[in-house]
Amino acid sequence: MSALFALTALALIFGAILGYAAIRFRVEGNPLADEIEAILPQTQCAQCGHPGCKPYAKAIANGEAFNKCAPGGEETIIEIANLLGVEPIALAESAHKEEDGKMVAFIVEDACIGCTKCIQACPVDAILGSNKKMHTVIAKECTGCELCVAPCPTDCIEMRPVATTPSNWDWKLQQIDVRIVEEDQP
């Protein structure tokens, strides 16, 4: 009976210590950064210059430019601009290569040894394969971040442009802000 009492007393003491520590050493997050992170595509591709979407969201909340997310594209930029209450700006030149267009990884089958290093490097799980078997890339999932190219020991991964089809055609039209103005009627 005394052992049960001793364990209960220890549990209460440690619980009180943990409760105090939780209140005393609480780390408050930035709610704006959390909202921005919810808008970002969560590809963790590092194309923006940050190791993931959360650090990039924190940087945006601290005033860094919000136009570096290539996988999110213009839609993400517009959503973040609306959240921040500022005008949207074009995707940064460093975030995409306009002259090349969208690129996707392609694995040359004859050179692939199945080492799985590209699978481990892919932030969006766009590469399928298993150990000592040939790998392949799911083109519609690939963001073109090129993170899989460097770890490949046989240089069997190439970045190739996405073929233009009716489903991915981009007219590059300038967005026009159309607003309906209600006139006073008698």
Task: Tell whether residue 156 is among the known ligand binding residues.
Answer: no
Task: Tell whether residue 48 is among the known ligand binding residues.
Answer: yes
Distance CA 119, CA 126 (A): 8
DSSP-assigned letters across all residues of 92-125 = PGGG--TTT-SEEEEE-GGG-----HHHHH-TT-
Task: Tell whether residue 152 is among the known ligand binding residues.
Answer: yes
Extended beta strands in the chain, E state? 103-107, 127-128, 136-137, 157-161
Task: Tell whether residue 69 is among the known ligand binding residues.
Answer: yes
CA dist 57 → 20, 28, 61, 73, 93 (Å) = 30, 15, 6, 15, 19
CA dist 169 → 71, 73, 172, 183 (Å) = 16, 15, 9, 38
Three-class SS of residue 80?
Answer: helix
Q: Binding site residues for [4Fe-4S] cluster, as ranges?
A: 45, 48, 53, 69, 112, 115, 118, 122, 142, 145, 148, 152
Q: Binding site residues, as ranges?
A: 45, 48, 53, 69, 112, 115, 118, 122, 142, 145, 148, 152
